[in-house]
Structure 1
C-alpha cells in the first residue's frame, strides 16, 4: 500500500496542478498522510529550478498549516480522530511511548529530527504537541523554522547542483540526517541526565 501511495504522489509532479498538489501533500503529511512532501517537491524543483524557492515556500507554509491541524487534532479531537489515524498507520504505540514525560524541549527536538530525518514522522509530533498542550504560538514558530529549514535547504541544493544531487538527496541525505538526528537525541538525553544529577 505504501508503494502505491508513493507512486501516486510521484505521478502528481508531472501535472499542471502540481503546485496545488504540493500544498495539499505538505498539509496532510503534517497531520494524517504517511508519504513526505519531498517526494513531490524534488521532481518539481528539478523540472523548474527557477521556482524552487517558491515551491519551498509553498511546502513550508502548508506543512506548518497542516501541523496546526495536527496540533488541533491532538488537543481537541484526540480520541475521535488521532487514535484511529495513528492506529491505521501503526504509530499509536510509538505515540503513547513518546507522550509520557514530554516537554516543550522534547517537542522542539522532535520537530528538528522530524524535519530533517522524518524521525519520528511529523504527524506524530504535531498530534503529540496538541495532546500535551504545547503553546500553539511556540509550536508555530518552531515548526516554521524547522520545516522551512528542510525545504529551503533542499531548494538550495537543487538549484546549485541540479539533477546530479538528486540521488544524494534521495539516498544519502536521509542517512546523514538520520545519523545527525540520533546524535542530537543522544546529546539531548545526556544533557537531561546531567541535569537530573
Structure 2
C-alpha cells in the first residue's frame, strides 16, 4: 500500500519548495496541538527526509509551534474552560480521555504531562487539565518542552540516521514505539520522584 496518494505527494512537494515551509510547519504544529486530528509526523517525516540539511530546524520549529499551542490550550483551561474548553473537548471527541486523565494528573502532575506528550493519547486533555487546575505554568512548559522535544527531535535523529525508511517504520511501529517510549519515561520520572521523596 502506498504511504501517500498522488495528491498528498504533490502537496508535500509544493510545501517542500516553499520559502515559507518552516512558518507553515510551525502553524500546523500549533493547530495540531490544539485541534487538528492529523498526526504531524505524516508531514514532517517526508519533509525531513527530503531536507537533511534542515532536519534540526524542522524539529525546532514544530516543537516551538507545539509550545505555543500548549500555552493556548493551557489558557483555555485556565480562563475559558466552561465555554471554549468544554466545546473543544466535545468537538475532539475526547470526553472519555479527559475524564480518565484527571486522576492520573492529580497523582503524578509533571510526569503525567510528559507521558501524555509521548503516548498516543490526545494531548489536549493535558493542556486543558493543567490550565484548569492552575498547575504552575513554568513547570507545565518544561514538561511540554521535554515531551514534544523528545518526540520531534527523536524523529529527526531517526530520519538523519535512516532517511526515507523512517516513513515506513513510523507507519508500522508508531503506536508501539509511542507506548514503549511513554511508559519508559514515565517509569523513569516516577522512580526519580520516589527517590527524591525519600531523600527529603
Q: Common fold, TM-score beyond 0.5?
A: yes
Coarse TM-score class (shorter-chain normalised): 0.7 to 0.9
Deviation for aligned residue 1:23: 0.7
CA RMSD of aligned residues (A): 2.9
Residue-pair matches, total: 184
Q: 1:110-130 CA deviation, whole Å, 9 max, x = no partner?
A: 333333232x21111111111
What is the DSSP-based 3-state SS (H/G/I as helix, E as strand, rest coil) of the residue aligned with 1:134? Answer: coil
- How many Å separate the matches in 1 of 2:40 and 2:87? 22
Aligned to 1:148: 149
- How many Å separate the matches in 1 of 2:138 and 2:9? 33
Of 31, 48, 56, which aligns to 2:34? 31
Deviation for aligned residue 1:183: 6.2
- Uncovered stretches (5+) of structure 1, i.e. residues with no partner: 1-6
Q: 1:125-165 CA deviation, whole Å, 9 max, x = no partner?
A: 11111111110011111111211111111111101110123
Higher Rg of the two aligned structures: 2
TM-score, normalization by structure 1: 0.80
> Is the 1:63–1:147 Cα contact (8 Å) retained in structure 2?
yes
Alpha carbons of structure 1 residues 180 and 151: separation in structure 2 relative to 1, 3 Å: closer
- Uncovered stretches (5+) of structure 2, i.e. residues with no partner: 1-5
How do 1:94-105 and structure 2 match up within 5 A? 94-100=97-103, 102-103=105-106
Alpha carbons of structure 1 residues 82 and 66: separation in structure 2 relative to 1, 3 Å: same
Q: Which runs of 4+ in 1 moved over 4 A?
A: 7-12, 182-188
